[in-house]
Structure 1
Amino acid sequence: MNQRALDYLALRPDFRAIARWVEPRATVLDLGCGDGSLLSLLSEELDVLGYGIEINDAGVLASTQNGVNVIQQNLEDGLRLFEDGSFDFAILSQTLQTIHQTAAILRETVRVGKECIVSFPNFGYWAHRLSVLRGRMPVSKSLPYQWHNTPNVRVLTIEDFEALAPEVGIEILDRVVLHEGQVVRWGVNWRGSLAVYRVKKS
């Protein structure tokens, strides 16, 4: 593994959990791919055929420079470009909390992906709760922005996601909850700062 891949894993611990679930040479759609670093990592490690969707001009440019096939599109407009089951895996990697049409995007994700992986920062993490009790919005490794410049338009907890999943036709296949890259095995909704799910259409 090259240094760039190691740097990605240090910055984004959910990448390692995602890579464990993606099969070699799979087709992958990364929704809200940012600079393409996840797809770049998966391509290098697993020889996947990946495509990213990103709205931000800088993200599209960075993805292209990282050798990632990217389509510039707003996720809020849906995924009409793709037929049902077009990809082995569709991924929402810390993207869910940045979109308004949460339920619609989740339905579309499990429509186009035979399996899907969803990761998000857990707003129920104890330090986030404590920050709110003290009167300030939380800032942490998993929520690194101030309230006034955050790209996040939703805050959710592990329990929120698990309550929503059956409502939008999602079956949860597996879950990993992390804090600072370490797996959290109990008290996950208050001890884990980052959640990663493997799901499919129910």
Structure 2
Amino acid sequence: MTPAGPQDLRADLEIISNHVPVAARVLDVGCGTGDLMASLVAHRQVDARGLEIDGANVAAAVARGLSVVQGDADVDLADYPDDAFEVAILSQTLQTTRHPHLVLAELLRLAPRAFVSFPNFAHWRVRLSLLWGGRMPVTRLLPLQWYETPNIHHVTVDDFRAYLADRRITVERAWFLNRDRPTSAAAANFRAEHAVFLIRR
């Protein structure tokens, strides 16, 4: 089966795929079944490694010929040496980690640059759901009920920006998506469903 081209990936993964340097050494943390990795290997000639907590996803990725190991970002990133990669990727995984600040620190220990994408919990639909319904939101990007969701640390665009500023982490670029289409950085905390940041030490 031919790996998906960047245009066939989920919107945040397409952005990441289009901006990973050709032939880079890449670690994809929370790589799922390896869609992004497969695209990067086929279309950007990267040396890709993956870390994934779900055993079934690991098996599916390995069956595709990808180098993926089962592991937990909260504890297993410590096993990698400093600067083992040129780029680290954490897509739609940050909010599921127990200690997101430590995971982010590990990403920037392992690589000088990292892509981080996450659903924005301050999007207006989420706010409206809480305001009018008084219940935890269920949306296209947050499709599970509160008792089923893996999300344990709800993060907003402004929370993430403040975190980076406090730690003097540089934002090289940021992309904001609404309905999988680019939206302006202006009022992104209110308007964007999803954010992608490229950060560096």
Please give the TM-score of this superposition, normalised by the length of structure 2. Answer: 0.92
After superposition, where does 1:51-130 map in structure 2 within 5 Å? Answer: 51-130=49-128
Answer yes or no: is the 8 Å Cα contact 1:171–1:200 preserved in 2.
Answer: yes
Q: CA deviation at 1:138?
A: 1.4
Q: Which residue of 2 aligns with 1:160?
A: 159
Find runs of 4+ consecutive structure 1 residues off by over 3 angstroms: 2-8, 166-169
Structure 2: which 5+ residue stretches go unaligned?
A: none
Q: Distance in 1 between matches of 2:120 and 2:21?
A: 26
Cα distance per residue 1:72-91 (max 9 Å; x no partner): 11111142222221111000
Check conservation: 2:5, 2:43, Cα contact below 8 A. Answer: no
Gaps spanning 5+ residues in structure 1: where? none
- Are residue 175 (structure 1) and residue 195 (structure 2) matched? no
How big is the shift at 1:67? 1.9
Alpha-carbon distance in structure 1 between the residues aligned to 2:124 and 2:42: 36
Identity across aligned pairs (percent)? 37
Deviation string, structure 1 residues 94-147 (Cα, Å, up to 9, x no partner): 110000111100000011012100000000100011011121211222212221
SS in 2 for 1:147: coil
Alignment correspondent of 2:190: 190
What pairs with 1:3-22 in structure 2 (closer than 5 Å)? 4-5=4-5, 8-9=8-9, 12-22=10-20
Instruction: Give me the whole-angstrom Cα distance separating, in 2, the residues matched to 1:46 and 1:5.
Output: 10
Question: Which position in structure 2 is the counterpart of 1:23?
Answer: 21
Aligned AA (2:179): E
| Pairwise CA distance, 1:5 | 4.2
Which amino acid in structure 1 is aligned with residue 139 of structure 2?
S
**Number of matched pairs:** 198
Structure 2 letter corresponding to 1:200? R
- Which whole-Å CA distance do the structure 1 matches of 2:17 and 2:6 have between them? 13
Cα contact 2:176–2:194 (8 A) shared by 1: yes
CA contact (8 A) 2:6 2:13 kept: no
Give the superposed CA RMSD: 1.7
Q: How far has the Cα of 1:170 moved from its partner? A: 2.1
Structure 1's 145 and 84: CA in aligned 2 closer, same or farther, altered over 3 A? same
Q: Name the TM-score, length of structure 1 as normaliser.
A: 0.92
Measured after TM superposition, the shift of residue 41 of structure 1 is: 1.4
| Aligned counterparts of 2:4 and 2:43: Cα–Cα separation in 1 | 12
Check conservation: 1:78, 1:105, Cα contact below 8 A: no
CA contact (8 A) 1:107 1:168 kept: no
Cα deviation code 1:146-191 (max 9, x no counterpart):
2111111111100000111133452211100001221111321111
Report if the CA contact (8 A) 1:78-1:108 is conserved: no
Secondary structure at the residue paired with 2:98? Answer: coil
* Mapped partners of 1:110, 1:28: distance in 2: 12
